[in-house]
Structure 1
Amino acid sequence: MERLSIFILLSVLLACGVANADKKNGFGPGKQDWGHVTVRKGAHMFYWLYYTTATPLHTKRPLAIWLQGGPGASSTGYGNFEELGPLTLELENRNWTWVKDMNVMFIDNPVGSGYSYVDGLSYYTKNNTQIALDLVEFMKQFYVDHPEFETVPLHIFCESYGGKMAPEFALELYKAIERKEIVSNLISVNLGDPWVSPVDSVNAWAPLLLNMGIVDHDGYDKIMVSAKKTEDNVNNNKFSAATTSWGATQRVLLTESKGVDFYDILKPVKGPNKARLLLSDLEMMKRTLVDFDLDEDRDKKLQDLMRGPVALALNISSQHKWGAQSSLTFQMLNADFMKDVKDVVETLLNSTTIKVSVFSGQLDLICATPGTVNWINDIKYDGKAKYEAAPRDGITVNRVLEGYEKTNGNFSMFWVNRAGHMVPADNPAAMSHILNTMTGYPKDIK
């Protein structure tokens, strides 16, 4: 009996040792792990994992993956320090960090974003399927290095163009699980202000701005003429031309609105930005989609942080300078940018057990809520009639109305009040409700 007790004790200690073997002190509070994973020859993906501070037994809490947009924006930079990581860009403790309730892994994706890098032009991704397959390969190797996470509930969260990448990633990961190529407890994919149907988003710009009084009927007409050219190019499968006309439509919108913020239509702006309009369409798109229209001081502050103290703390080689390949990452996906993934969302709902949610900030412009509602109305899946008949309830946190929700079966939609494109940062109370609904944490949402 005594030998059996010693054996059990040793087994528990060994298991705890394995579970904690990769926990390190990184940058900021809490235990972390990070590194590059070669997902295919010449393509290296970077991740930064924060172990939850809720409990030393991190396997008792879910794992949330965060994918940024762009394509080419950095999860480890922007998503981490501007939205939901343990520290703000000012290096102050964030009260609403997700790490308090679950394990969080930021992935710089596609390869070339943030600290991720490629060895040459031929290794960049050119389409959404390649992006998804890279992520599946990453997960295979992640589980080899962190086998304790194989049975931990996995939830994929994302934002913007991440909302185009995440559905296909979830679908390919599900297929790999079905083929027994990987062991993973994939539960949900959650699309934040997603770029699922680019045409629906672009066509929603002018109506939203007109209804808000940001443009008049003349401005509305000019934006819609340009949006129609974009839609025509998509309908004629001229996808590179559609991306170009998207950029032209952005220029018309900024001119007519006198520089409204693409990510929050109520955000104070400094009025007509003539210097911005002097940029080429490509430079303007990169500024919007990869740099998130941060003001120059804030943009430089984030870059200095990631290339300086963070790179030093994580021992990242100066050869892999944060953000150095982001522009090319964006450009290489030019022909894929305006393609939708509505069919992928349909497949997730019709052919998998994965829970799918969409959450949208009502002050967002670039992926405006009306456009999101339109593509949700277009998709076809078995439970759609029941979803449409389901009640639309209010989201109330601490007796404050934070938004609305509608759920049936494996699909949920969340409308978020007082939030633009970056819901986790703009309305953390509503985001906590969404997290609780989809993952079960945090537990104390009322």
Structure 2
Amino acid sequence: MRPLRAATAASVLLLAAGAVLRQSREPKELWGYVQVRSKAHMFWWLYYANNPTKDFTELPLILWLQGGPGSSGCGFGNFEEIGPLDREMKPRNTTWLQAASILFVDNPVGTGFSYVDDCSLFAKNLSAVVSDMMVFLGEFFTCRTEFQTIPFYIFSESYGGKMASGIALELYRAVQKGTIKCNFMGTALGDSWISPLDSVLSWGPYLYSTSLLDDNGLAEVTAVAKEIMDAINKNEFGLATELWGKAEGVIEENTDNVNFYNIMTKDVPEMKSNEQGNLHLTGLYQRHVRNMHKDSLNELMNGPIRKKLRIIPDCVKWGGQSREVFENMAEDFMRPVIDLVDELLAANVNVTVYNGQLDLIVDTMGQEAWIRKLKWPNLKQFSQQRWKALYVSPESTETAAFHKAYENLAFFWILKAGHMVPSDQGEMALKMVRMVTQQEH
């Protein structure tokens, strides 16, 4: 069945969102739902750029895609990373609104405040995720004409980067065909799950080099990584996902529960005795989705934020369908999308890769490994570039990152940051945004 364009109900909601605009408060914001398929509803939240010297029309628009799959951009990305307020509702000094308008979307459907009326409608693969997002973006740019000519970028984190690669390619094609009118300028893949196998194979060496594994631990992690590689080579992606969960368990046992998002911290996940189903999937869900729904954020989203928004259906709880989102995508987890990045580069789309130095789940070694596999003709020239040290300000003497770029590919090595780069190094993340969107060099 052809996806509903939702020209009636969804458009009304897009426009009705203006009615709940908080005129008295900066920054200007809008929100609403788009019905991307029959009985599948996607929630979005837009903040207009809030810069003291520039109007929003002089700054780009950034779409932020969270990971998981099943983690909420409107919740976690907004209040924990880059939005105007933190989860204590205090102003964030490093909000990206200084450099751009931000569009948060709870994606795939079922994430955050997004929801489905029928459990058969959860996305099961990347193509379904991309298809839904194309419906959403078509509606958004049709209704919010003020953004059609503004430079538009897709920034992402974790599994959001995998989704961003597919969405960016499909959006590029839609713009070329004229079916979506927007000024698409590129995508940034942050600590992104582009090549799961390259990440998995680098876990042992990375932990060993940082003194978090001994010889015995390295041997155990290497053995389970090889099991994952064998499953992927046989196209047994469901099995590979289960083994991925097993591998993380092996790492936790050997490292005294290292935090997968920042190796300088410790994590002791709660295992609830009433959890049902596949134990490895349960562990993965707890580490990578429920971890993003901590009590304080959960209370904020289902309390004050829900009251503010005024359009969330009574039957919808923020994060209430996140586990189903995650589990329905299980067959897709371990599939690589290096080929999509190659297609983006071949189409001359600007691609930025950025990674936190202290991230384990998507460590920098693994990112560099899949980049070496690109078939992009300019890869050799990119690789030969010398990286350049970056500082958060001219006065600073502390190296905050390294950067190199060639043609339409760029890489940022963000120091002292884990998986959530904007949370750990907010100033450097904001500087990176300005560089990627060509506001500074």
Instruction: Give distance in 2, aligned partners of 1:409 and 1:33.
Output: 36
Distance of aligned partners of 1:118 and 1:396 in 2 relative to their CA distance in 1, 3 Å threshold:
same
**Stretches of 4+ moved more than 3 A in 1?**
20-23, 26-29, 273-279
Per the alignment, residue 346 of structure 1 pairs with 342
> 1:166-189 deviations in whole A, cap 9, x for unaligned?
011000011111111111100010
Per the alignment, residue 248 of structure 1 pairs with 246
The answer to whether the 8 A contact 2:99-2:434 is kept is no
Root mean square deviation, CA, Å: 2.0
SS at match of 1:46: strand
Instruction: Give distance in 1, aligned partners of 2:151 and 2:389.
Output: 27
Whichever residue aligns with residue 38 of structure 1, its letter is Q
Instruction: Give distance in 1, aligned partners of 2:338 and 2:306.
Output: 38
Per the alignment, residue 282 of structure 1 pairs with 281
Shift of residue 226, structure 1, vs aligned partner: 0.9
> 1:197-226 deviations in whole A, cap 9, x for unaligned?
001111111111111111101011111111
Per the alignment, residue 47 of structure 1 pairs with 44
| Aligned pair partner of 2:377 in 367, 373, 382 | 382
Structure 1 alignment gaps of length 5 or more: 1-17
The answer to whether the 8 A contact 2:26-2:50 is kept is no
Whichever residue aligns with residue 364 of structure 2, its letter is T
Structure 2 alignment gaps of length 5 or more: 1-14
Per the alignment, residue 407 of structure 1 pairs with 405
Structure showing greater radius of gyration is: 1
Whichever residue aligns with residue 290 of structure 2, its letter is D
Instruction: Give distance in 1, aligned partners of 2:303 and 2:324.
Output: 22
SS at match of 2:92: coil
Instruction: Give distance in 2, aligned partners of 1:42 and 1:275.
Output: 34
Whichever residue aligns with residue 181 of structure 1, its letter is T
Shift of residue 263, structure 1, vs aligned partner: 0.2
Identical-residue share of aligned pairs (%):
37
Alignment of 1:291 with 2:290, yes or no, is: yes
Per the alignment, residue 209 of structure 1 pairs with 207
Distance of aligned partners of 1:91 and 1:274 in 2 relative to their CA distance in 1, 3 Å threshold:
closer
The answer to whether the 8 A contact 1:26-1:314 is kept is no
The answer to whether the 8 A contact 2:142-2:181 is kept is no
Instruction: Give distance in 1, aligned partners of 2:435 and 2:269.
Output: 44
Shift of residue 432, structure 1, vs aligned partner: 2.0
Task: Map 1:13-412; keep pairs closer than 5 Å.
Answer: 24-25=21-22, 29-54=26-51, 57-269=55-267, 273=268, 276=271, 280-292=279-291, 299-315=294-310, 316-350=312-346, 352-398=347-393, 399=396, 400-412=398-410
The answer to whether the 8 A contact 1:68-1:161 is kept is yes
Shift of residue 391, structure 1, vs aligned partner: 1.9
SS at match of 1:76: helix
Instruction: Give distance in 2, aligned partners of 1:268 and 1:300.
Output: 19
Whichever residue aligns with residue 122 of structure 1, its letter is S
Shift of residue 275, structure 1, vs aligned partner: 5.2
Distance of aligned partners of 1:21 and 1:283 in 2 relative to their CA distance in 1, 3 Å threshold:
closer
Shift of residue 29, structure 1, vs aligned partner: 4.4
The answer to whether the 8 A contact 2:269-2:286 is kept is no
Instruction: Give distance in 2, aligned partners of 1:258 and 1:188.
Output: 40
Distance of aligned partners of 1:285 and 1:268 in 2 relative to their CA distance in 1, 3 Å threshold:
closer
The answer to whether the 8 A contact 2:95-2:430 is kept is no
SS at match of 1:158: strand
Shift of residue 22, structure 1, vs aligned partner: 7.1
Shift of residue 368, structure 1, vs aligned partner: 0.6
The answer to whether the 8 A contact 1:359-1:413 is kept is yes
Shift of residue 397, structure 1, vs aligned partner: 2.2
Per the alignment, residue 438 of structure 2 pairs with 440
Instruction: Give distance in 1, aligned partners of 2:332 and 2:390.
Output: 36
Instruction: Give distance in 2, aligned partners of 1:349 and 1:261.
Output: 33
Shift of residue 38, structure 1, vs aligned partner: 0.8
Instruction: Give distance in 2, aligned partners of 1:205 and 1:99.
Output: 35
Whichever residue aligns with residue 330 of structure 1, its letter is F
Distance of aligned partners of 1:140 and 1:386 in 2 relative to their CA distance in 1, 3 Å threshold:
same
Shift of residue 402, structure 1, vs aligned partner: 0.6
Q: Tell me whether 87-96 or 54-63 shows the greater mean CA deviation.
A: 54-63
Distance of aligned partners of 1:275 and 1:332 in 2 relative to their CA distance in 1, 3 Å threshold:
closer
SS at match of 2:400: strand
Q: Tell me whether 233-242 or 384-393 shows the greater mean CA deviation.
A: 384-393
Whichever residue aligns with residue 334 of structure 1, its letter is A
SS at match of 1:382: coil
Instruction: Give distance in 2, aligned partners of 1:235 and 1:425.
Output: 36
Distance of aligned partners of 1:83 and 1:319 in 2 relative to their CA distance in 1, 3 Å threshold:
same
Instruction: Give distance in 1, aligned partners of 2:24 and 2:124.
Output: 33
Instruction: Give distance in 2, aligned partners of 1:225 and 1:23.
Output: 55
Q: Tell me whether 397-406 or 178-187 shows the greater mean CA deviation.
A: 397-406
The answer to whether the 8 A contact 1:164-1:196 is kept is yes
- TM-score (norm: length of structure 2): 0.91
Per the alignment, residue 12 of structure 2 pairs with none
Instruction: Give distance in 1, aligned partners of 2:269 and 2:168.
Output: 42
- TM-score (norm: length of structure 1): 0.90
Whichever residue aligns with residue 328 of structure 1, its letter is E
Shift of residue 318, structure 1, vs aligned partner: 2.1
Instruction: Give distance in 2, aligned partners of 1:51 and 1:433.
Output: 19
